[in-house]
Structure 1
Amino acid sequence: MKLSYILWEAFLMKQYPVETAKIKDDLYDAVNDAWLSQAEIPADHSQTGGFVELMDEIEKTLMHDFDELRDGKAQPDSSEMAEFTKFYQLTSDFNQREADGTKPLQPILDRITALNSLADLNAQLSDWILSDLPLPVSLSVEADMKHTETYALYANAPSLFMPDKTYYDEGNRAAETLMSAFTTAAVGLLEQVGYTKADAEKITALAKEYDRAIAPNVKSAEESADYAKNYNPEQFADFLQFVPALDLKSAVHTLVDGDPDTIIVTEPVFYQSVNQLLTTISFDQIKAWMLVKVLFNYSNLMNDEFRQTAGTYSRTLSGQKELRSVEKAAYYQAKAAFSQVTGLYYGQKYFGEKAKVDVQNMVKAMIAVYQNRLKTNTWLSKETREKAVTKLSKLEIQVGYPDKLDPMYSQLHVTPASEGGTVLSNLDQFSRQWTEYHFSKWNKPTDRTRWEMSADTVNAYYEPLHNIIVFPAAILQAPFYSLDQSSSQNYGGIGAVIAHEISHAFDNNGAKFDEYGNLHNWWTAEDLDHFDALAQKMIAEFDGLPFAGGHVNGKLTVSENIADAGGLSCALEAAKGEPDVDLAAFFINWATIWRTKATKQIEQLLLNIDVHAPAKLRADVQVKNLDDFYSTFGVVTGDPMYLAPDKRVHIW
């Protein structure tokens, strides 16, 4: 046995540029050390790695293509791409943008400065919402979480200046540095739109006071991670009593076609306190808060000095050395406004039909593995198991890019500079059209085929409200997936990603939704208690792990960790079913896709707000739960990568 293992290890070392003996100490480091020692974080990035490198390649490809369209060297193939091209010409007209300075922003600033009271705001409240201007309350239309076939009205809380409410907690070490950077940026922006330094400092101080007053009443990232607690329906008439200071009744009747009986409140604690935040705090504070919000929200659309000033705060948050170049900024501004249009272009041009069929087959294979696991599950009752299998059978799959564009894109028409159009004026018009469109959906049937991500996004997702998994074309590339990689490599990459998304249907959030995406408990009480106990084990496995000078929050990351565990385990089973199975290749590619080099600042920020565990820990911790990892690399008691069998977490 010992001799055969040594021979096997020698074979691995020849096949892979990995010191497999070091895998016993740390899988992630053994696989990625050579890359980590050479990788450099671009000056305009806060991190680099598998995901980011793919994004950078797509950026390079599409910027080349879109520059040719912009410069007339190529012709758009649709009316929507023609409008995108016109808008890209506007965002790329740097001379005009510098000449305009902050003038395009002035009409919006004037609207805010003209307000003297809540009565003034109420007089234009519906138009304020349609103009997407900051408010201490937020309304939206989304699928009703318990009746997902219909769109419902939601009331949400506003975002804060800080990344999370916990930054206002006493003793938060990062808060002082971040607030200092925010203050400097806010004062600088106010000065650039004409305020004296003294007035700019006064306005910024008032804005910060209001933000701090809001903070205790909104959810933290950890609290927001529990989806089901976002569903708090209220009779609309009762809800209005929460906010008598704002004429939301008239505003809503203008925004939607009808009289809502109910509204879904995502943050009840906030709405129980919001009227006090409106009436007992000076209107000058509210007004200053809205003004500062607008300056940051529109900073990327002004001249470069304005963009750079606002960017001092984001760079302090992320650790970026510099902002994107004006050329890249122009590309992303244009692309964001026509995201599905450019995504469809990318998918149709760069995503092959052969790859699409191959990935669809992998998805079907992963679903088959999951179905078998559910059918043979030993801790679920027959009743719950059958409902889980039913949910899996109803899972919808989308790969590559959507079959059609959202019809709203055909309504977006660019006003060129020759007719007085600016980047900001066009985006304001687009934003208003989208807002009107979304409110028009109230009480109408939902569109379960609508993609939330564009096809040129390096990511994937599960949508619990529609029970659907989506894999955009951009992620279907090496190291995640390639026709040139072995089946085991592909299962360790895109296979694990696919199964991860399937697992979200059965994580601590997804498990609360049925096969139609409705928030509905389909578990027996005993099964749910058992599942909750397993989820607690997953929380404990990650909670408190040291990273970047801080510690992982097991509650914040539990849903993604459950999905990682289920995804990796099911992908492993699928890989073992292939004739060319190579488990070392499987685990090595799993560690490869998570390779990341990041600034300390972004690592610490993500520890506080990201529902995903740090990439290194995603790679290292999950494999310790799998017996095949130990047999593949000869990991035994005493090795750093060893975890005692009774400590290993198995859910799906």
Structure 2
Amino acid sequence: MKNVLEFEKRLAQITIPADQRRDDESTYHKITLKELKMKCKAIDWVSYYRRAFGPIGREITENEQIVIYSPQYMSNLSDLIEEHLRDEQKKIVVANYLGWSVVQTMTSCLAKPFREASKILRKALMGSEGTESPWRYCVTDTNGVMGFALGAMFVKAVFHGDSKLMAQTMIEEVRDAFKSNLPNLKWMDEHTRQLAKEKADAITDMIGFPDFILDSTKLNQKYEGLILEENDYFTNNIEVNRFALRRNIQKIDKMANKSEWEMSPPTVNAYYTPTKNQIVFPAGILQAPFYDVNYPKSLNFGAMGVVMGHELSHAFDDQGREYDKSGNLHQWWKNSTIRKFEERMKCFVDQYTKYNVGSDHVNGKQTIGENVADNGGLTAAYNAYKSWLSKHPTELPLPGVNLTNLQLFFVGFSQVWCSTSTPEALKLQIMNDPHSPAQFRVIGTLSNSYEFAQQFKCSPNTRMNPEKKCVVW
């Protein structure tokens, strides 16, 4: 296993760091399998893809076009594999690595010794074994496989009927606030500004859940062909992987389905897809502490409104801005505006790189997209809430706290990030996660907000009201 570990280290060493893979235009390389073979000779790519697409009978030739992110990595990978294939002992290392990789992905459904070993690894990486009661594990695992079936039960049982309509209204209010702020951006030229407005208008949204999950016939069709055995958990996992692969490769040669959900309804998350120019908010996030139909608007805008603004801002972060309103990858900003945008990006990189947990500093380049989205989302949601207040001036303050509604907005934003984490988990997050640790998502965003400093009367040149603030959107 030591040799396997060394091989994996070699793979890690030739991998391009995440903070160097953020420019989608520079990492988009469309080539044929024949050309790939020339860059990475150690692998018979045509045979590989023929086997992968065998279940659907799709013919694969050497002229098939694919997209790779790093030609240099493929070349280095080929060199590494060829080095090992020239030596009989090293051949065994590659075989053992591939075998171990399969075992590692299936650990959760193997015998107890494998699961116990996995706990030891998790303890080392995360500071916790992550042990949970069997029923909770089973629900989580089932949701991962049949999330839309469980989603139907979730929606029928707990999803408030008015939440979908009210969330739709809030999205439009946040979108309008974002567009209204575009004329204030002096760094953006007029032509690019107009295209940005058109892109914001073109963003589609999906809220709560797809309608098909409430139709049992259509829901059954979603899982048609998935055969599970009552008492064979391991085989079921193999079948689930085969089923997912078949469904995925069947999409080739077809138009992208822009109404397809990537997250199941119970998921507490949201996402923006640049190739679809689409934002999605599953039912799971449309509940406390992010959202509740009975909450004051100040808290709903501060929590869920910022999430909506965050996802919308992803359409204009360092990666999202490279895609136009139709989801096509090409340059639609003027060079002068790109240069000014990148200057503002550097401000965020420098700001967040100064944040640290012990001796570990946040990677400002790796987290730039999420940090910009946090800041842009807060601004859009705050302006949307102020606009709503101007039409509803009679909103009462929250009883029991001596805070104004505008102050409550910032409290609503902050409290959703209240969390605990082990030192090991924080270290791993700083190393790999594109998101900054929760505390810096709050401190970093609010310290850039003139409105926060004004509402809480922060003294000038203090930590939460520095003279230099980073602002893009």
Q: Verify same fold: TM over 0.5.
A: yes
Structure 2 equivalent of residue 414 of structure 1: 228
State the Cα distance separating 1:408 from its structure 2 match: 4.5
Of the candidates 431, 443, 450, which is equivalent to residue 608 of structure 1? 431
Structure 2 vs 1, CA of residues 341 and 257 (structure 1 numbering), >3 Å: closer, same or farther? farther
- CA–CA distance in 2 between the matches of 1:393 and 1:217? 41
Partner letter of residue 250 of structure 1? S
State the Cα distance separating 1:301 from its structure 2 match: 0.3
State the Cα distance separating 1:615 from its structure 2 match: 0.7
After superposition, residues 291-306 of structure 1 pair within 5 angstroms as 291-306=99-114
Structure 2 vs 1, CA of residues 322 and 440 (structure 1 numbering), >3 Å: closer, same or farther? closer
Query: Which protein, 1 or 2, shows the higher relative CO under an 8 Å CA cutoff with sep ≥ 6?
Result: 1
Q: In the alignment, is the contact (CA less than 8 A) between 2:227 and 2:239 conserved in 1? A: no
In structure 2, the residue corresponding to 1:399 is in which secondary structure? strand
Structure 2 equivalent of residue 445 of structure 1: 255
Structure 2 equivalent of residue 464 of structure 1: 274
Matched, 1:247 2:44: yes
Structure 2 equivalent of residue 153 of structure 1: none
Q: In the alignment, is the contact (CA less than 8 A) between 2:174 and 2:309 conserved in 1? A: yes
Matched, 1:650 2:467: no
State the Cα distance separating 1:473 from its structure 2 match: 0.7
Of the candidates 366, 369, 381, which is equivalent to residue 177 of structure 2? 369
State the Cα distance separating 1:330 from its structure 2 match: 2.7
- CA–CA distance in 1 between the matches of 2:337 and 2:16? 29
In structure 2, the residue corresponding to 1:469 is in which secondary structure? strand
Q: In the alignment, is the contact (CA less than 8 A) between 1:496 and 1:570 conserved in 2? A: yes
In structure 2, the residue corresponding to 1:443 is in which secondary structure? coil
Q: In the alignment, is the contact (CA less than 8 A) between 1:337 and 1:427 conserved in 2? A: no
Of the candidates 5, 10, 28, which is equivalent to residue 231 of structure 1? 28
Partner letter of residue 429 of structure 2? L
Aligned residues: percent identity? 26
- CA–CA distance in 2 between the matches of 1:267 and 1:409? 35
Q: Deviations over 1:222-257 (max 9, x none)?
A: 234444443111132111223333322133245144
Q: Deviations over 1:557-613 (max 9, x none)?
A: 110111011000111111112123811101111111111111111011101111111
Of the candidates 79, 94, 104, which is equivalent to residue 276 of structure 1? 79
State the Cα distance separating 1:294 from its structure 2 match: 2.1
Q: In the alignment, is the contact (CA less than 8 A) between 1:391 and 1:514 conserved in 2? A: yes
Matched, 1:218 2:7: no
- CA–CA distance in 2 between the matches of 1:488 and 1:556? 32
- CA–CA distance in 1 between the matches of 2:357 and 2:6? 32
State the Cα distance separating 1:434 from its structure 2 match: 1.8
- CA–CA distance in 2 between the matches of 1:383 and 1:348? 47
Structure 2 vs 1, CA of residues 325 and 296 (structure 1 numbering), >3 Å: closer, same or farther? farther
State the Cα distance separating 1:369 from its structure 2 match: 0.8
Partner letter of residue 97 of structure 2? W
- CA–CA distance in 1 between the matches of 2:69 and 2:422? 33
Of the candidates 422, 431, 441, which is equivalent to residue 599 of structure 1? 422
Partner letter of residue 287 of structure 2? Q
Structure 2 equivalent of residue 621 of structure 1: 444
Provide the aligned C-alpha RMSD in A. 1.9
Matched, 1:264 2:87: no
State the Cα distance separating 1:209 from its structure 2 match: 2.2
Q: In the alignment, is the contact (CA less than 8 A) between 1:390 and 1:515 conserved in 2? A: yes
Q: In the alignment, is the contact (CA less than 8 A) between 1:308 and 1:323 conserved in 2? A: no
- CA–CA distance in 2 between the matches of 1:322 and 1:497? 27
Structure 2 equivalent of residue 403 of structure 1: 211
Partner letter of residue 355 of structure 1? S
State the Cα distance separating 1:221 from its structure 2 match: 2.8
Structure 1: gaps of 5 or more residues? 1-203
In structure 1, the residue corresponding to 2:327 is in which secondary structure? coil
Matched, 1:424 2:231: no
In structure 2, the residue corresponding to 1:553 is in which secondary structure? coil
Of the candidates 571, 575, 599, which is equivalent to residue 385 of structure 2? 575
Structure 2 equivalent of residue 393 of structure 1: 201
In structure 1, the residue corresponding to 2:366 is in which secondary structure? helix
In structure 2, the residue corresponding to 1:338 is in which secondary structure? helix
In structure 2, the residue corresponding to 1:397 is in which secondary structure? strand
Structure 2 equivalent of residue 637 of structure 1: 460
- CA–CA distance in 2 between the matches of 1:209 and 1:639? 48
Structure 1 runs (4+) greater than 6 angstroms displaced: none
Partner letter of residue 648 of structure 1? K
In structure 1, the residue corresponding to 2:367 is in which secondary structure? helix
In structure 2, the residue corresponding to 1:554 is in which secondary structure? coil
State the Cα distance separating 1:551 from its structure 2 match: 0.8
Structure 2 vs 1, CA of residues 511 and 322 (structure 1 numbering), >3 Å: closer, same or farther? closer
- CA–CA distance in 2 between the matches of 1:250 and 1:641? 58
Partner letter of residue 211 of structure 2? D
Structure 2 equivalent of residue 43 of structure 1: none
Q: Deviations over 1:70-129 (max 9, x none)?
A: xxxxxxxxxxxxxxxxxxxxxxxxxxxxxxxxxxxxxxxxxxxxxxxxxxxxxxxxxxxx
In structure 1, the residue corresponding to 2:365 is in which secondary structure? helix
Deviates more, 1:311-320 or 1:325-334: 325-334
Partner letter of residue 332 of structure 1? T
Q: In the alignment, is the contact (CA less than 8 A) between 2:374 and 2:441 conserved in 1? A: yes
Matched, 1:318 2:141: no
State the Cα distance separating 1:262 from its structure 2 match: 1.6
- CA–CA distance in 2 between the matches of 1:293 and 1:482? 43
In structure 1, the residue corresponding to 2:354 is in which secondary structure? coil
Matched, 1:208 2:5: yes
- CA–CA distance in 2 between the matches of 1:344 and 1:396? 23
Matched, 1:340 2:137: no
In structure 2, the residue corresponding to 1:602 is in which secondary structure? helix
Structure 2 vs 1, CA of residues 628 and 213 (structure 1 numbering), >3 Å: closer, same or farther? closer
Structure 1-normalised TM-score? 0.65
Q: In the alignment, is the contact (CA less than 8 A) between 1:462 and 1:504 conserved in 2? A: yes
Partner letter of residue 10 of structure 2? A
In structure 2, the residue corresponding to 1:411 is in which secondary structure? coil
State the Cα distance separating 1:638 from its structure 2 match: 5.4
Q: In the alignment, is the contact (CA less than 8 A) between 1:304 and 1:326 conserved in 2? A: no
Structure 2 equivalent of residue 188 of structure 1: none
After superposition, residues 120-131 of structure 1 pair within 5 angstroms as none
State the Cα distance separating 1:404 from its structure 2 match: 2.7
State the Cα distance separating 1:398 from its structure 2 match: 0.6
In structure 2, the residue corresponding to 1:263 is in which secondary structure? strand
- CA–CA distance in 1 between the matches of 2:95 and 2:203? 47
Structure 2 vs 1, CA of residues 258 and 302 (structure 1 numbering), >3 Å: closer, same or farther? closer
Structure 2: gaps of 5 or more residues? 85-89, 214-218, 396-403
Deviates more, 1:488-497 or 1:290-299: 290-299
State the Cα distance separating 1:385 from its structure 2 match: 0.9
Q: Deviations over 1:108-161 (max 9, x none)?
A: xxxxxxxxxxxxxxxxxxxxxxxxxxxxxxxxxxxxxxxxxxxxxxxxxxxxxx
Q: In the alignment, is the contact (CA less than 8 A) between 1:209 and 1:285 conserved in 2? A: no
Q: In the alignment, is the contact (CA less than 8 A) between 2:371 and 2:436 conserved in 1? A: yes
Partner letter of residue 561 of structure 1? N
After superposition, residues 99-248 of structure 1 pair within 5 angstroms as 204-248=1-45
